[in-house]
A and B are shown apart, each in its own frame.
Chain A
Amino acid sequence: MKKFLWKRAVASAISLICLIILVFFLSRLTGDPTDLFLPETATQEARDNYRRVHGLDQPLVSQFFRYVTDLVQLNFGESVRRAEPAIDPVLRGFAWTLQLATVTMALVTLAAITLGSLAAFHVGGFFDRVATFFSLMGASAPDFWIAIIAIVVFSVGLGWLPTSGTGSVWHWIMPVAVLFIRPFGLILQVVRGSMITALNSAYVKTARAKGVENRPIIFVHALRNALLPVITVIGDQTAAILNGAVIVETIFGFPGVGKLMIDSILQRDFNVILAAIMVTAFAIFILNIMIDLLYAVLDPRIRY
Chain B
Amino acid sequence: MADHLIEVRNLSVDFHTAQGTVHAVRNVSWHLDKGETLAILGESGSGKSVSASAIMNLIDMPPGEITSGKVLFDGRDLLEMSSSERRKINGSRIAMIFQDPLSHLNPVYTVGWQIAEIMTAHGMPAEKARTRTLELMKRVKIPDAENKIDSYPHQFSGGQRQRLMIAMALALKPDILIADEPTTALDVTVQAQVLSLLEELQEETGMGMLLITHDLGVVAEAADRVVVMNSGEIVETGTANEVYHTPKHPYTKKLISAVPGTGKMTDPLATGIEPILQINGLTKHFGGFVAVDDASLTVLPGETVAIVGESGSGKSTLAKTLLRLEDASSGSALYLGRDLVTMPSDELFALRRDIQMVFQDPTQSLNPRMSVFQIISEAFEIHPDILPKPQWKNRVRELLELVGLEASHMHRHPHQFSGGQRQRIAIARALAMEPKLIICDEAVSALDVSIQAQVIDLLVKLQEELDVSYLFIAHDLPLVRDFAHRVVVMQGGKIVEQGPVAQIFDDPQEDYTKGLMAAGLSPDPEIQADRRRARAELLETTI
Binding site for B on A (CB under 8 A): 201-203, 205-213, 216, 221, 224-225, 298-301
Contacts and interface: CB of A to CB of B under 8 A. Distances in A.
B103 A211 contact: no
A202 B108 contact: no
Contacts of B89: 211
B152 A211 contact: no
A250 B541 CA distance: 88
Contacts of B87: 211-213
13 contacts: A203-B103, A206-B98, A206-B165, A207-B106, A209-B96, A210-B90, A211-B122, A212-B117, A213-B87, A224-B108, A224-B109, A299-B107, A299-B108
A208 B57 contact: yes
Interface in B33-77: 56-58
B412 interface: no
B357 interface: no
A216 B165 CA distance: 19
B56 A208 contact: yes
Nearest to A222: B106
B92 A211 contact: yes
A211 B108 contact: no
B118 interface: yes
Given A224-B108, A225-B108, A210 B118 contact: yes
B121 interface: yes
A-B pairs with lowest CB-CB distance, top 3: A211-B91, A211-B90, A203-B106
A92 to B, nearest CB: 41
B103 A202 contact: yes
Contacts of B152: 300-301
Contact of A221 (B57, B100, B106): B106
A211 B86 CA distance: 8
B168 interface: yes
Given A300-B152, A301-B154, A211 B88 contact: yes
A216 B105 CA distance: 15
Given A206-B104, A208-B58, A209-B56, 15 more contacts: A202-B104, A203-B103, A206-B105, A208-B90, A209-B95, A210-B117, A210-B168, A211-B91, A211-B122, A212-B87, A212-B91, A216-B121, A224-B108, A298-B108, A301-B154
Nearest to A224: B108
B386 to A, nearest CB: 42
A212 to B, nearest CB: 5
A26 to B, nearest CB: 42
A205 B104 contact: yes
B118 A211 contact: yes
B98 A212 contact: no
A210 B91 contact: yes
Contacts of B95: 209-210
A201 B103 contact: yes
Q: Report which residue of A210, A216, A300 has the largest number of chain B beta carbons within 10 angstroms of its beta carbon.
A: A210
Nearest to B83: A214
A211 B118 CA distance: 7
Nearest to B95: A209
A225 B105 CA distance: 12
Contacts of A203: 103-107
Given A202-B100, A206-B105, A225-B107, A212 B57 contact: no
A225 B90 contact: no
A298 B108 CA distance: 7
B101 to A, nearest CB: 9
A56 to B, nearest CB: 56
A209 B58 contact: yes
Nearest to B100: A202
A300 B107 contact: yes
A299 B108 CA distance: 5
B121 A209 contact: no
B247 to A, nearest CB: 32
Contacts of B121: 210-213, 216
Nearest to B152: A300
A206 B109 CA distance: 13
A202 B92 CA distance: 20
Nearest to B115: A210
Nearest to A203: B106
B91 A209 contact: yes
Nearest to A212: B121
Nearest to A198: B106
Nearest to A200: B60
A83 B87 CA distance: 71
A298 to B, nearest CB: 6
Contacts of B117: 207, 210, 212
A198 to B, nearest CB: 10
A206 B95 CA distance: 10
A225 B122 contact: no
Contact of A225 (B58, B88, B106): B106
A205 B107 contact: no
Q: Report which residue of A211, A212, A216 has the largest number of chain B beta carbons within 10 angstroms of its beta carbon.
A: A211
B26 to A, nearest CB: 24
A202 B121 CA distance: 19
Nearest to B108: A224
Interface in B241-277: none
Nearest to B171: A210
A206 B118 CA distance: 10
Nearest to B84: A213
A300 B108 contact: yes
